[in-house]
Structure 1
Amino acid sequence: MKSWSQSSLQWRLTFSLLMATGLIWLLVLVMTWFKTEHELSELLDAHLAQTAAVLAVQTDDAHDDDFTTAAVLHKYQPRVAFQIWHDKALMARSAGAPIAPFAPLGQSGISDQWQGQKYWRVFATPGREEDVWVVVAELHSARNDILMAGLQSAIVPMLLALPVLAFLIWGAIFKSLAPLRQLSLSVSQRHPDARQPLSEQVSAEVKPLVEALNRLFEKMALQMEGERRFTADAAHELRTPIAAIRMQAQVARGAHEDIDRKSALDAVLQGCDRATRLVAQLLQLARLEADDAAGGVGHCDAVMETRTTLADLGSQALARWQNLSLNAPESLPLAMPPGLVGVLVGNLVDNAQRYSPEGASIHVQWHATPRPQLVVQDSGPGLNTADLARLGDRFFRVAANGADGSGLGWSIVRRLAQRYRLQVVVDRSAELGGLRVVVTWPEV
């Protein structure tokens, strides 16, 4: 059996509204009962008093010693009874009245009395003379019958209206929940590769859900696109170094001279290094796109990550006799997940090392004010205007340049800039003569 929270929303709303309506009706019924009973009691008590007053006025000293019983003129007449007493002797009574007094003689006013196994509402009053008493009584059951008859006239229409009300409530809720059913149908029939957002022409209550789903679909589309792009990049770029490694391995196996074999094996190692570097860059791109889809946020020390990254690139600089320097404050906190500053610095410095000649200088600077800023400049040949325009395209490499690269480094830099709203300016270094890259963080 389903719990209340797991049951149909339409059933819960219908049941809740009917229960609330029923409770309100019951409360109104109880209030009506007490109010009607009070008003009816006062009205009938007034009738009793009026009847007793009429009988009291009609009594006088000419009392007949003969006992008199009033005739029954109406079928409801036995519900009301009267007695006339003179000198504690019953002189007259109605047909339904007992012989014993309804109430103690000499006690005037309204009272409730049991008489003849019946419950009476009694009004007693003295007559025109002190020894004459007029007593008028009415059965409580008669009063209750009048009360119930009045209440039934209100209860029966309410009970008859309840099924109609339930149907109307059910229909109104069913129609009101139609956008949710339509939304559920649209999502269930949606193709996994669909990118178009759901229509936001819905009611105000459903619109936040549709907007949240559209944001989710957008993130999923970005993640799926990143996975497709990663697969395409890997298939496109890894094919070349793997083919080159295979070819050089075949050359090494068929070489008869040691020098030829050594040259082929060196080429195999270079191909392995390139494949390793390419895989690392592809994984960096995949990580950036995954972080973008997940909306990851964090903080790091930019200077510490830069020092670590430059230490890793030191061997490459030594191998080419390049001068690698850092000018930065002791610490610089940034609003970026840990590791990404190292990725950014690593790709910029790696590009500078590859496209700069042996013995070149590469300077890395960090400025903390007025906004965090990273400056990487080298003494290499720089780039012309056409190459600068294409900088950042995937797998774009500068023509007529002997540097061994995949063209993904600048794609990673551009992706980081888009993700964290970084401003990237590339121009010629006035200090070193080569390329200068300035990365500026947004104001917090």
Structure 2
Amino acid sequence: MKPASISARLLVSLALLFALTVFLATALAVHSTHHRIDADYDSQLIAESHTILMFVHEDLEENGQLDNYKLDSAVLSFLPEEERALHEYVRWRGLRIWKNGKLAAQSEGAKDLGFPMAPTGFSEAMHGQDKWRIYAISMPTAGIVVETMENLSNRDRLISDIIEEMTEPAIALLPVLGILLYVAVWFGLRGVRRMAHQLARRAPDDMAPLKGDLPTELRPLQKSLNSLLSRLENSITREREFIDNAAHELRTPLAAMRLQGQLIDHAKTDAERADAAKSLIETIDRTSTLFNQLLTLSRIQHQKLEAQSLALANIVREVVSERALLAAEKDIDISLEGPEDAAANAQPDMLKILLGVLIDNAIRYTPAAGRIAITVDNGKIDIRDNGPGIPESEREKVFERFYRARRDQQGSGLGLAIAKQVCDFLKADIALGQGLDGAGLGVSLVFKDEHAHRA
């Protein structure tokens, strides 16, 4: 399904809002007008009844009878001048006089209605499809009841005329309003079109932040897009660095493998062939280690962390057990000390990668029959060995990618760089110091998370 445009949604929403506003305004106006007209016309009925009652009382006292002409004239005197001229009151106004419970006189408009005598005050009665409003007033001492009445269709017609006068201009202005709404929405969305135009013109590798004075409502979107572009730029930069580093570092071992393959091919004796094959296997192992470290480094850069409280001793044992054969080949003793309930808040996989890198380094550079001592405490891990160590002047540099403290050392120069990056992700501090027996290398990990607690 094709998504609706913002312009269309705004136009429809504004149109519906306008229609609802007109409807509510009309409903309120109708209610107010109806109430006002009812009050005005009811007041007329009351005034007519009281005046007619005085006329009737005078006629009875002077003549002893009722004059129908005077009834019509009395009703007519309360009507607007233009209605009096047309005598339209006959159709929708009426007057009846009762004497001792009998109809004594009635106006032309009241003939043929056939209503019984109404109770005192206001009441309503039906005649065919028409509803009549009646006001009755009595003079008990004379036995007289005067009724003035009105056909309510007159009021309804008047209200309809008022509503028509109110709504006709609004309906006539609808096309103009639609055009004005469209223009207003079009101008209001200029910022969106400008932003879309900026993005459409960009080169695929252009990650510069979006610029321009946008409306307040679009600034959060602009800020989010700029943040996304910044993260994309960093990600692309890391990918390029990874590819460049991998290409640079793999070039040498690949060339060495080619050369060693040629040596195997040209070996004249079994001993020469065995030596070349051994060198080839070692080169393949180093290349495999390098490649795995590069992949680990790339994976760390895209890892989403969900920290949890971890028992450090258990994690260390798991990592050490995976490297038991490597340590056994060099007869290296790996010891673990510290409380069993020592814990830290960290992401399990990342912590295993970190410990694996550091323990691999310690095994690689610790001489045969050497020692590696690991100590755990709450929020802290220390790994020390009795290998050659790293000069104090170079301890900060070894965290850089592909940096080797000594050129004659084996390795890719990525181990401690990976460890530093994992520590950054885990929000942990890593520090290098002295190892065992006044020599070797010591690595201290301190987890900053203040919520770390004993497991």
CA contact (8 A) 2:313 2:376 kept: no
Deviation readout 1:166-212 (Å, 9 max, x if unpaired): 55555555544444444444445554433334459655544444444
Indicate the residue corresponding to 2:79 in structure 1: none
Q: 1:325 aligns with which of 335, 356, 359?
A: 335
Deviation at 1:407, TM superposition (A): 0.8
Indicate the residue corresponding to 1:33 in structure 2: 30
Tell me which amino acid in the other structure corresponds to 1:43: D
Stretches of structure 2 lacking an aligned partner (at least 5 in a row):
77-83, 451-455
Indicate the residue corresponding to 1:256 in structure 2: 268
CA contact (8 A) 2:347 2:426 kept: no
Deviation at 1:326, TM superposition (A): 3.1
Deviation readout 1:398-443 (Å, 9 max, x if unpaired): 3353x32111111111111221122122233373322222221113
SS of the residue corresponding to residue 263 of structure 1 reads helix
Q: 2: distance between equivalents of 1:287 and 1:101? A: 97
SS of the residue corresponding to residue 405 of structure 1 reads coil
CA contact (8 A) 1:84 1:92 kept: yes
Query: How many equivalent pairs are there?
Result: 433
Indicate the residue corresponding to 2:403 in structure 1: 396
Q: 2:361 aligns with which of 351, 355, 364?
A: 351
2:235 paired with 1:223: yes
2:391 paired with 1:384: yes
Tell me which amino acid in the other structure corresponds to 1:245: M
Indicate the residue corresponding to 1:342 in structure 2: 352
Deviation readout 1:338-394 (Å, 9 max, x if unpaired): 3333332332233334444444x332322313xx22222232333334433421222
Tell me which amino acid in the other structure corresponds to 1:411: A
Deviation readout 1:252-277 (Å, 9 max, x if unpaired): 21121222222211111111111111
TM value normalised by structure 1? 0.80
Indicate the residue corresponding to 1:367 in structure 2: 376
Tell me which amino acid in the other structure corresponds to 2:391: N
2:41 paired with 1:44: yes
CA contact (8 A) 1:378 1:434 kept: yes
Q: 1: distance between equivalents of 2:389 and 2:199? A: 52
Deviation readout 1:26-80 (Å, 9 max, x if unpaired): 3443344344333323322332333344344344232689975868951134344
Indicate the residue corresponding to 2:81 in structure 1: none
Indicate the residue corresponding to 1:288 in structure 2: 300
2:412 paired with 1:406: yes
Query: In the superposition, relative to structure 1, how do residues 279 and 153 fare at CA in structure 2: closer, same or farther (>3 Å)?
Result: same
Tell me which amino acid in the other structure corresponds to 2:401: R
CA contact (8 A) 1:306 1:341 kept: no
Indicate the residue corresponding to 1:236 in structure 2: 248
Stretches of structure 1 lacking an aligned partner (at least 5 in a row):
none
Indicate the residue corresponding to 1:441 in structure 2: 447
Q: 2: distance between equivalents of 1:135 and 1:358? A: 127
For 1:190-201, list aligned pairs within 5 A: 190-198=202-210
Deviation at 1:110, TM superposition (A): 4.5
SS of the residue corresponding to residue 381 of structure 2 reads strand
CA RMSD between the two structures:
3.8
For 1:301-312, list aligned pairs within 5 A: 301-312=311-322
Deviation readout 1:273-307 (Å, 9 max, x if unpaired): 1111111211211221121xx34545644333333
Deviation at 1:250, TM superposition (A): 0.8
CA contact (8 A) 1:83 1:134 kept: yes
Tell me which amino acid in the other structure corresponds to 2:247: A
Query: In the superposition, relative to structure 1, how do residues 325 and 192 fare at CA in structure 2: closer, same or farther (>3 Å)?
Result: farther
Which stretch of structure 1 is more off in the superposition, 391-400 or 145-154? 145-154
Indicate the residue corresponding to 1:156 in structure 2: 168
Tell me which amino acid in the other structure corresponds to 2:335: S
Q: 1:11 aligns with which of 4, 8, 13?
A: 8
Which stretch of structure 1 is more off in the superposition, 133-142 or 109-118? 109-118
Indicate the residue corresponding to 1:74 in structure 2: 85
Which stretch of structure 1 is more off in the superposition, 194-203 or 274-283? 194-203
Q: Aligned residues: percent identity?
A: 26
Q: 2:290 aligns with which of 278, 283, 287?
A: 278
CA contact (8 A) 1:83 1:97 kept: no
Which stretch of structure 1 is more off in the superposition, 80-89 or 294-303? 80-89
SS of the residue corresponding to residue 54 of structure 1 reads helix
Q: 2: distance between equivalents of 1:53 and 1:117? A: 29
CA contact (8 A) 1:382 1:428 kept: yes
Which stretch of structure 1 is more off in the superposition, 261-270 or 18-27? 18-27
Q: 1: distance between equivalents of 2:127 and 2:319? A: 109
Q: 1:54 aligns with which of 37, 44, 51?
A: 51
Tell me which amino acid in the other structure corresponds to 1:366: T
Q: 2: distance between equivalents of 1:276 and 1:308? A: 22
Q: 2:431 aligns with which of 414, 425, 429?
A: 425
SS of the residue corresponding to residue 302 of structure 2 reads helix
TM value normalised by structure 2? 0.78
Query: In the superposition, relative to structure 1, how do residues 62 and 233 fare at CA in structure 2: closer, same or farther (>3 Å)?
Result: same
Query: In the superposition, relative to structure 1, how do residues 58 and 227 fare at CA in structure 2: closer, same or farther (>3 Å)?
Result: same
